[in-house]
Structure 1
């Protein structure tokens, strides 16, 4: 079954790479430059099956986005990406949605594995 994934990262290269990886696994992907754009999209669309979010962004960072989503009673499995993964754990442990923290730079095989694992764990 085709699943939908929402990618949020302020770096175009990361967004394009993740889009390619996710599409190659047979899933639909929507990507956004910041949390605010993603939140507006999610309010108008069916919620995605998975979120892949950069933690450090200028306009609505990853924690702020997850907080807003969970406040709407949406608990979507989420992968947080960061160059400072250990520090991010301190800021995200309270969120029910966060299932994985992915250190940047990331290994493509690991990204595929994490995405597929979360999309098949219903």
Structure 2
């Protein structure tokens, strides 16, 4: 079963995304910040990351940059309240396949998760 890691410091958003991921039949792992995410990824690499751009301790950009340095190419969706700013900052990162502006459309999230994990728009 494929696993999605959600990295967001806002509990409400984490819980909402966890419900979406579980309802689509995937396993879910969560982290509150980039440091916690790196620790969990070192134990078990997820199939997809959904990462908030603005995180405490290690932000989303730095988290993804460190993963790329370790050559852990995990497809990632980046979320941000300032999507244009985030897009400019992460343009050098190959892992980022999609950027969601917050607040995001749940149906769009669902479709992108399927596209990135299964290669289809269901």
Q: TM-score under structure 1 normalisation?
A: 0.95
- Return the offset for 1:44: 1.5
Q: What is aligned with 1:58?
A: 56
Q: What is aligned with 1:71?
A: 69
SS in 1 for 2:73: coil
Q: How many residues align?
A: 120
- The 1-side partners of 2:57 and 2:32 are apart by 9
Q: Structure 1 stretches (4+) deviating beyond 2 angstroms?
A: none
Unaligned regions of 5+ residues in structure 2, if any? none
Q: What is aligned with 1:86?
A: 84
Per-residue CA deviations over 1:65-119 (Å, capped at 9, x if unaligned) read: 0011111111110000001001101111100100000010011101101111101
- Return the offset for 1:120: 1.2
- Return the offset for 1:121: 2.7
- Return the offset for 1:21: 0.2
Unaligned regions of 5+ residues in structure 1, if any? none
Q: TM-score under structure 2 normalisation?
A: 0.95
RMSD (CA atoms): 1.1
- The 2-side partners of 1:35 and 1:68 are apart by 10
SS in 1 for 2:87: helix
Q: What is aligned with 1:117?
A: 115
Q: What is aligned with 1:48?
A: 46
Q: What is aligned with 2:97?
A: 99
- The 2-side partners of 1:89 and 1:107 are apart by 18
SS in 2 for 1:20: helix
Q: What is aligned with 1:108?
A: 106
- The 2-side partners of 1:65 and 1:54 are apart by 10
- The 2-side partners of 1:95 and 1:121 are apart by 21
